[in-house]
Amino acid sequence: MNTSYKVRFRNFWEDEIISSIIYADIAKKVKAQSSFFNNLSAMEHSHAKLWATLSKNLYGVELKPSLALKLKLYFMKFLISIIGFKLTLKMFELNEMKAVREYYQLFTDPNLVEYKGEFLILLKDEMFHEIEFLKQTIGYKREIEGLKDALYGLLDALVEIEAAVIGIASFLPNPILIGLAGLISAISGTFSMSTGAYVSSKSEKVIYNSKVEEVDIRSSIDKDNIVNDILDDIKSLTSDETILERLSQILRSEEGLVKKLYIISKIGSPEIALEDPKLAAKNAAIYYFIGALAPIVPFFLGLSGFYAILLSITLTIVILTLASTFVAVVSGTSIKRKAIETIAITLLATLSTYIIGTIAKSLLGIEI
């Protein structure tokens, strides 16, 4: 038996244990959906038992909670207390998608053919999770996307203002003047970001409504082709002719459903496209300005030289790491990769402006 599965089975077991406990905790906090999350918790617990059984039968290893698992669980609980219930669901939705792909690999592995039935049950359960998560999260996709956009604004501010104040600090020794220069840049950037967000959101709304109107016209004169387009998209998910035929019957008898599915499939969810332009502008302004404050605070504290620059960079890196974590969670990307990428870009921009400022000071003979 392939020994690489030994590690994978333990990882799967740990993920199922953590998910089971987290779902049970969420059930206690979200009373209206407690039954749903308790069922998920029980399902994940049964999956954990399966991985434990496989590890024991195939490798003679009895899986037990390690210190690392306990620390990971504590960290997850802490993270969830910060990001809240909705982002937690988004995070677990992404995990379920990953689990489906990995379990399918095991399902098709000829070396594990005797456990094919168990893996099929796992696949069905995980696909059920994915569908249920989609139902749960679709009601607040705009909120999640709005938060992601706002955090991107905060990241922009951190990079831009950090680079600006460090560049200024390379030739201007007065910390208050450096802080004021950074504050002026932050204010102008805030106006720029909020204006851009307002115009962008309003344009999206106009374009979306125009496309929806086109769908309304097409559905009244070309319904069959729209149904076929929807079925073509679904065929990438299943090749079961019975399911496809049943869906075809439902779609051809439900005109309203056809329109909704086609709009979501080809244009996008209205919750994503129809954000209030004023709200978009306000969020962009608030998050950008908050992000811009971190790099300039040390200079307003009266610190100068090396210590002000060091504290400014430290605050920026801490906030960058937190913001990058949130963005990675809602985007389905690696948290570690996203944080390193963002920090590296910021430090590179900061170093570049510091060098430019130092060269300008030397070439122009600036002495202040």
Query: What does DSSP assign to residue 65?
Result: -
Rounded Cα distance, 323 and 174, in Å: 30
The candidate with the shortest Cα–Cα distance to 196, out of 285, 256, 107, 257, is 285
Rounded Cα distance, 133 and 128, in Å: 9
Query: Which among 4-18, 236-250, 323-337 has the top mean pLDDT?
Result: 4-18
pTM: 0.56
Q: pLDDT at residue 81 above 70?
A: yes
In angstroms, how far is the first alpha carbon of the chain from the final one? 73
Number of C-beta neighbours around residue 162 at 10 A: 29
Pairwise pLDDT comparison (175 vs 326), residue with the higher score: 175
The pLDDT of residue 364 is 65
The helices-and-strands tally (H runs, E runs) of the chain is: 13, 0
pLDDT digits (tens, 9 = 90+) for 21-67: 888 888 888 777 788 788 888 888 888 888 888 888 888 888 888 88
pLDDT digits (tens, 9 = 90+) for 265-315: 555 555 555 567 787 788 888 888 888 888 888 888 877 777 888 888 888
55-83 mean pLDDT = 81
Rounded Cα distance, 221 and 217, in Å: 7
Which of 113-117, 137-141, 181-185, 258-262 shows the lowest per-residue confidence on average (mean pLDDT)?
137-141
Rounded Cα distance, 159 and 186, in Å: 11
pLDDT digits (tens, 9 = 90+) for 235-275: 655 566 666 676 666 666 665 666 666 666 555 555 555 56
Query: Is 328:339 a contact under the CB 8 Å cutoff?
Result: yes
The pLDDT of residue 197 is 78
Domain boundary assignment for the chain: 4-108, 143-364
Token pair of 139, please?
Answer: 């009601």
| The dihedral sign for the CA sequence 96, 102, 105, 107 | negative
The pLDDT of residue 169 is 80
The pLDDT of residue 135 is 56
The candidate with the shortest Cα–Cα distance to 335, out of 343, 128, 165, is 343
Radius of gyration of the chain (CA): 26
